[in-house]
Amino acid sequence: MDTSKLTRIDDTTWQIDPTGDMRVPGIIFADEALIEAMDDKVAEQTANVARLPGIVQASYAMPDAHWGYGFPIGGVAAFDPDEGGVVSAGGVGFDVSCGVRSLLTGLTVADIRAVQERLADALAAQIPAGVGSRSGISLNRQEMDAMLVGGAAWAVEQGWGEPEDLERIEEMGRMAGADPDCVSEQAKKRQRREMGTLGSGNHYLEIQAVEKVFDAETAAAFGLVEGEVLVTIHCGSRGLGHQIGTEFLRDMLPAAAEAGIRLPERELACAPIHSPIGQRYLGAMRAAINCALANREILGHFAREVFDRFFPEHRLPLLYDVSHNTCKVETHTVGGRPRQLYVHRKGATRAFGPAHSELPEALRGEGQPVLIGGSMGTGSHVLVGMGTGGKGFYSACHGAGRAMSRHAALKRWHGRQVVDDLAERGILIRSPSARGVAEEAPGAYKDVDQVVEVAERAGLARRVARLTPLICVKG
């Protein structure tokens, strides 16, 4: 990125000063190396978001930001409905509520090494991953609507999960305000056979070891012990969310024009929150959030079933489940007064600090776990929300972010070689597609350690532990 047009605020904060019809500044959290590696499109898109009506405070980009559509991936923006604020389908993304959950196992690396090959095969057999995979769960019309309202709580009622999980999921496992009537028949049709499937691309199920603890007290409170093992699942709302994103992106284009909103780019299609289409989108998007929460709950259940065969004496309690692509109503103090805002996070994680009223009692002392996904060979991280500041409306990064295109990755790596190289490092990959593995090669991503270190220095979230992969089931 050309930094000559940015104002450097401090070591990890860069400002795009308001020009033209920008209503607020753009803020990018990055150190010098990360900002130089970012595409110029990130600044362009961050500035474009700042032009939307009703935006509050600033348009933000997290340290893992990269070129998206409309909003950058890693973009955060909050809108006030009473000041003409908008809701944007492009500001949430196609994979609504794509996110990460981590389950504790209490097992050691040695326990896993003893059965690693067989465990990897069993997980690959049990977890439906990749294009064309089916879980065997098929929902009729009534079941679909119940799922869209009930989220993970619905999955638990069906026997695919544990009641104790729910308080460890954002929104207690069930997003309020979901309206299945706002979800098209096309979207429901797309989802009918996709419950309990992982998807493809950068979605995965990983068995990970706690390699290093940065914050012993918080790690202990979270149940993270060096040398012990977690199961982490990264996926989203599957076809239902994709179809909702597709349909509302299309329908918000004329809606924006009718509302007199001048769009810097068509991908920023949006509608006033106080409008029929804005309300319909919120009803549908919240249903898609519930779909993602239910999907991850079911996948967690599948993983538990496999672990139960190998380690019947071990339960797998949920550490936490967070979403990356959402628009949520939250109260934030801006200008000295609390305001109810519609916070868009696209490729960004909510990161509430200690004592936040929306956290369950068990986590209120430490703050919200912030789960940062890795990329097969690279590590993942557990962070915790910071108590003060609440930068970027209490948001943090969501992963490493891609450093190169799939195209460039395919030119550089062969899938078989990636699998073999990782196996030599003790990491077993199971994937239906060698090309998919090459496109997702660890080297195609930014350095996740650098990204989370900058997130910490910027005051977005604090590092708790670093995780390293042992097994990865890749879609």
Partner 1 sequence: MQPTGWTLEPHDADVRVVGWGPTLAHAFEQAAVALTHVVTESCVAGREWLTVSCEAPDPELLLVEWLNQVIFEMAVGGLLFSRYRVVIEGEVLRATLWGEPVDRTRHAPACEPKGATYTALRVERVAGGGWVAGCVVDV
User: What's the closest the beta carbon of residue 220 comes to partner 1, in angstroms?
Assistant: 36
Q: How far is the CB of 139 from partner 1 (least distance, A)?
A: 14
Judged by phi (left if over 0) then psi (alpha if -120 to 50, else beta), residue 30 lies in beta
Q: How many CB atoms lie within 10 A of CB 274?
A: 15
Tell me if 242 contacts partner 1 by CB under 8 A: yes
- The answer to the question of whether 290 is labelled as a binding residue is no
Where in 282-341 is the site for partner 1 (CB under 8 A)? none
Confirm whether residue 204 is marked as ligand binding.
yes
Phi, psi dihedral angles at 368 (to 5 degrees): -80, 130
For residue 404, say whether it is annotated as part of any ligand binding site. no
Query: Residue 210 or residue 240: which is nearer to partner 1 going by CB?
Result: 240
Task: Please check if 344 is assigned to a binding site.
Answer: no
Euclidean distance between the first and the last CA atom of the chain, given in angstroms as a whole number: 32
State yes or no: 106 annotated in a binding site.
no
- Candidates 37, 146, 334, 434; binder of partner 1 (CB under 8 A) is 434
CB of 352 to partner 1, least distance (A): 27
How far, in Å, CA of 379 to CA of 6, rounded?
A: 31
94 binds partner 1 (CB under 8 A): yes
CA nearest 316: which of 104, 78, 61? 104
Of residues 167-206, those binding partner 1 (CB under 8 A): 186, 189-190, 199-201
Of 175, 78, 170, 24, residue with least CA distance to 391: 78
Q: Is residue 259 within the footprint of partner 1 (CB under 8 A)?
A: no
Within positions 18 to 77, which residues make up the interface with partner 1, using CB under 8 A?
39, 41, 66-70, 73
Q: What is the DSSP letter of 105?
A: E
Residue 356 annotated as part of some ligand binding site: no
Minimum Å distance from CB 331 to partner 1?
31
Q: How many residues bind partner 1 (CB under 8 A)?
A: 46
The number of C-alpha atoms within 13 Å of 53 and in the hemisphere containing its C-beta is: 20
398 is catalytic: yes
For the CB of residue 225, give the shortest distance to partner 1 in the complex, in Å. 34
Q: Which is nearer to partner 1, 101 or 402 (CB)?
A: 402
Residue 26 is assigned to a ligand binding site: no
DSSP string, 288-309: HHHHHHHHHHHHHHHHHHHHHH
Considering beta carbons, is residue 72 or 385 the nearer one to partner 1? 72
Of 331, 401, 395, 463, nearest to 27 by C-alpha is 395
Q: Which two three-digit tokens encode residue 287? A: 């249903």
Which of 67, 73, 69 has its CA nearest to residue 38? Answer: 67
Distance of CA 179 to the CA centre of its chain: 22
Q: Rule CB under 8 A: is residue 118 a binding residue for partner 1?
A: no
Distances (CA, A) of 450 to 353, 389, 428: 22, 22, 25
Torsion of CA 54, 58, 59, 62, to 10 degrees: -150
**Catalytic one among 242, 398, 407, 414?**
398
User: Is 66 marked as a binding-site residue?
Assistant: no
User: Least CB distance from residue 402 to partner 1, whole Å?
Assistant: 5
Selected from 243, 275, 375, 380, the binder of partner 1 by CB under 8 A is 243
Task: List binders of partner 1 among 402-421 (CB under 8 A).
Answer: 402, 405-408
Q: How far is the CB of 134 from partner 1 (least distance, A)?
A: 8
Query: Segment near partner 1 (CB under 8 A), from 52-60, 124-132, 145-153, 289-297?
Result: 124-132
Cα–Cα distance measured from residue 4 to residue 27, given in angstroms and rounded to the nearest whole number: 15
Contact 236, 83 (CB under 8 A): no
* Phi/psi of residue 349, nearest 5 degrees: -105, 135
Element (H, E) at 204: strand 204-213
Per the annotation, where are the binding residues for Mn(2+)?
Answer: 95, 203, 234, 324
Binding residues for GMP: 202-206, 324-325, 373-376, 380, 398-401, 474
- Binding footprint of partner 1 on the chain (CB under 8 A): 39, 41, 66-70, 73, 93-95, 130-134, 186, 189-190, 199-201, 239, 242-243, 245-246, 249-250, 253, 265-267, 269, 402, 405-408, 432-436, 439, 475
Residues recognised as catalytic = 398
